Amino acid sequence: MVGHLPVMLHEVLSALNPQPNRHYLDATFGGGGYTRGVLATEGTTVLGIDKDHEAIARGEAMQKEFGKRLSLYEGSYADLEKAVREAALSSVDGIMFDLGVSSYQLDTAERGFSFSKDGPLDMRMGGSGPTAADLVNQWSEDQLADIFWRYGDERNNKKIARSITERRKVSPFTRTLDLAEHIAKLCPAYGKPIHPATRVFQALRIAVNNELDDLEQAMAASLRVLSKGGRLVVVSFHSLEDRIVKQAMQAVVAPRQHVNKYKLPKAGRDDKYGEEPAFTLINHKPLVASDEEVRGNPRSRSAKLRVLERVQ
């Protein structure tokens, strides 16, 4: 199995700018690439979060190397405030996100994320809750069409949903390749660069893992636990993720706005949320991967990196 290559590692570490003896949070621990980069700075500590038990197991192996400098929390990044409290921290000096699915998950057929490898139609990042097969075989035609459009921007959403609900009456979908090949026959690629099932698989993965709701909660929580001078660094891979990150960051760089939505601490005169904003954008336009990185790691071609710093 090919290991996970941390996307835009140099750019993430440069933006985060880890300092000795400071505390950092890796909200999507995965293969631990960002974490290892931070721990290369003397005296730093990292709290790694991941809902994937296999990722936590990899982290436990890393703990043998770094000891108490690395602590782990198995759960969703939506619960990062709880994770910070349980780590006996009041705040952190930097937070990293590498959103979406990891190479470990894609490359393991048994996890059911890939439309190019045969495996059970699962897609759960954690070990509980409905699988992709449950959604495909139990949700109504309208429900499937809705998520294919909202989470996958699939223009053939209604056609695919209708065909799925008809086919499952005869034979339920239980395997990834069965679903992928069914979609490919229904909507041939005709020379297009992406597989016809790409958007449907993305939509199912997002729905199964409640990714967008969790991300909204995680962005708000990150703003609350970030210490003064700390940076929030987020790498996203599709427009739905990037929109949530962009809106959360832009909302808090304007003075006096969005106090209730993000439940941020009050500051400034008259107990209001500041005459000046508490955050500033480090890059007003997202950074993208270099041509060299894209050649070596095609997954990075759609990556967008955004950075926010707390200034008060």
Question: Which residue ranges make up each domain of the chain?
Answer: 9-104+211-310, 112-209
10 Å CB burial of residue 268 (0-12, 13-18, 19+) is middle
Dig out the tokens for 307 from the structure: 């950075």
Q: What burial letters (b/e) apply to 12-23, b meaning 16+ CB within 10 Å?
A: bbebbbbeeebb
Q: What CATH topology corresponds to 9-104+211-310?
A: Rossmann fold (3.40.50)
How far apart CA 200 and CA 179 sit, in angstroms, is: 10
Whole-number pLDDT of residue 127: 79
Strand partners, 235: 98, 305
The answer to whether 71 and 42 have CB atoms below 8 angstroms apart is no
State how far Cα 78 lies from the chain centre.
11
Whole-number pLDDT of residue 28: 95
- Taking the chain (312 residues) in runs of 10, the rounded mean pLDDT of each run is 74 97 97 96 97 93 96 96 96 95 74 86 90 97 98 96 98 96 90 86 95 96 96 95 94 64 50 64 94 91 95 88
Dig out the tokens for 184 from the structure: 């490919």
Which H or E element spans position 5?
none
Q: How many residues does the chain have?
A: 312
| Location of structure tokens 């439309």 | 115
Q: What CATH topology corresponds to 112-209?
A: DNA polymerase; domain 1 (1.10.150)
Beta strands in the chain (DSSP E): 23-26, 45-50, 70-74, 92-98, 226-236, 279-281, 304-310
Whole-number pLDDT of residue 56: 95
> What predicted TM-score, i.e. pTM, was given to this entire model?
0.88
